[in-house]
Chain A
Amino acid sequence: MSAHYCNYRVEALPGQCIETVRPVRSIGLRRLCRLLAATVSLALVCLSGLAAQTQESNSTKPIPVLTGGSGFITTFDGGDAHLGPIVAPVLLVPFGDRWLVESRATFETDLARLPGSDAFRGKVAKEIDYLQLNYIASPFLTITAGRFLTPFGTFNERLYPVWIRNLQADPLILPIGIGPSNAGTGGMVRGGFPVGPEVTLNYAAYFSAASTVDRFNSDRFAGGRFGFFLPRVRLEMGASFQHLLQGERSNAFGFHFVWQPPPVPVDVRAEYARFSRGSGYWIESAYRLAQSRVWRNALRHTQVVGRVQQFFVGAQADDSLPAVNTTQVEGGLNYYFLDGLRATASYGRQFTAVENKNVWTVGITYRFAFPLGPGGGK
C-alpha cells in the first residue's frame, strides 16, 4: 500500500511533495498489479462462459492480427531540422465472440543536430499507448478495462496514427483533455446504436485512476463523449466533457464536427476544446482530386489539405501547450502510391506575439497488417 502514496500533487523532485495543493491519490505498482489481477480474474471468469456462446464458423473466426503504422517524417521547425522515424505496432487478440485484447506501442525518435555538430542524434522513445481488454456485452455496450486512449474529441482516438492523419503536425489543442500520456488507466463503457432511421448515437464514458508507474502514467479523471452521426449526409457532431479529480479539479469540454458531403471527395473536420489553461480550435479540409479531368491517373491519388488553428492561453501555463497565443495556417499534399503507402508534405506558418516561423514537413507513411494465425492468407 505504501509503494507510492503522494498526498500532495505538486512534486518538486521524485518522492518530494509541496503541501499547497489539494490531495490526490496515486496508484503505485502494487495497486496497479492488483487492478490488473482483478481485471484478469474477471476476464478468466467470463471466458469460462464462452463455451456457452454461439461460435462463428471457422471461415470467419477471428485470428490475432498485428497491424499498425510506420513512417519517416522530417520536420523543419523554424529552420531546425528534425528527423522522425516512427513505428507504432497494434496487436489485436480476439477471444470467443465478444472479447478483444488490443494494444498499441509506439517507438519513435526525434533526431536533431547538437550544437557544433553535423550529426543527428536522439533517443528512442518507447510508449505503450493503450493496452485494453474489451468485452462486447451487447449491441449497445462495450466494456473496456486497462489503459485506453482518452476519448476527448476525435483526434486522439481516431486520427492520431501517422498513416491516418492528413497533416503530420499535431493540432495545438491536442493535449487538452487527454491526460499526460494521451491515455487513462481504468475503465470505460462505450458503444454506438441507431436512435432513428437516419441517426446513430455513439458514446463513451470513462474513469481513470492516477498512476505514476513508468509508461503507464495517467491522471485521475472522469469524463465522457457523445456524438450523433447522420449517415445519409455523412455528418457527425459531438461533444466531450472531462472533470479532473486531482490538483486544480478543473473541467474541460470540447466539440467535434466531421462532414464528408457525399457528392464530392472532401473531408471537413473541426474541433474546439477549452479548459482552465487554454482554449482553441482547428478546422481542416482535405480534397481528393479524384474528379479531375486532367492528369487523371496521377491526380486521383493526390489529396490537398488545408488547416487553420488557433490557441489562446488560459489563466495558468501548461508545459504541453503553447506559452503564448498562437495562430497556425498549414497546407499539405498527400500522394497515395499503394494501399497504405503514402508520401506526405506540408508547409505551415505559425504566428505568435514572440515570433513568426515556418514549419515544413516531408515524409512517407505506411500501414501494415499481418495475420498471426492460420487462415490469415488469401
Chain B
Amino acid sequence: MKPKWFIVIGLWLAMALATWAAGQERLNGHHSTSGSNAAPAASSSRPGLRGDARTRLEGQKRFEANCGRCHMSPRKFPPRMMATIIRHMRVRATLTDEDMHLILEFMTE
C-alpha cells in the first residue's frame, strides 16, 4: 500500500473518531431520556402548546419535510416495527438524530 493511502485512511479514522467522540455524550443523553428527548428541540416553535402536542406537531413537520421528499406518506406501523423502519431511514435518507427521534415520536403516538 502506498504511503498516501495511509495518510488518507489515517485522516478518515481521525475524523471518524473525533465525530464519534463529539456525538457520544449527545447520543447517551437521547437514550437516557427514552424518547422524550425531542421535546426541548420542539418547544421553541409554538409556545402556546403543551410539550406532547409540540413534539407531535414538530414530528409531523419533520415527517412531511423529510419522508415526503421521496415518497408518499405511509400509514403508521406498530411501534416496534416503526423503530426498525426509522433506523433504516436514518441510514438510507441520512436523517439527523433529532429528526429521527421526532418522527419516531410522531409515528408511534
Contacts and interface: CB of A to CB of B under 8 A. Distances in A.
Interface string B95-106: 111110000100
Interface string A332-369: 00001001100000000000000000000000000101
B42 to A, nearest CB: 13
Interface in A46-75: 53-54, 56-57, 59-65, 67
A100 B97 CA distance: 15
A134 interface: yes
Nearest to B84: A62
Interface secondary structure of A, over-half rule: strand
Contacts of B27: 136, 138-139
Contacts of A192: 94-96, 99
Nearest to A149: B92
Contacts of B91: 100, 102, 134, 136, 142, 144, 190
Nearest to A340: B74
B14 interface: no
A371 B85 CA distance: 10
A371 B97 contact: no
A65 B84 contact: yes
Given A60-B35, A64-B84, A231-B65, A139 B16 contact: no
Interface stretch (A9-17, A29-37, A176-184, A199-207): A199-207
A137 B80 contact: no
Interface in B1-38: 12, 16, 19-24, 26-28, 30-32, 34-35
A375 B20 CA distance: 32
A60 B93 contact: no
B103 to A, nearest CB: 12
A193 B97 contact: yes
A157 interface: yes
B23 A137 contact: yes
A136 B93 contact: no
B69 A157 contact: no
Interface in B53-76: 61-62, 65-66, 68-72, 74-75
B25 to A, nearest CB: 9
Those 4 A-B pairs whose CB atoms lie nearest each other, nearest first: A138-B23, A139-B97, A202-B94, A62-B83
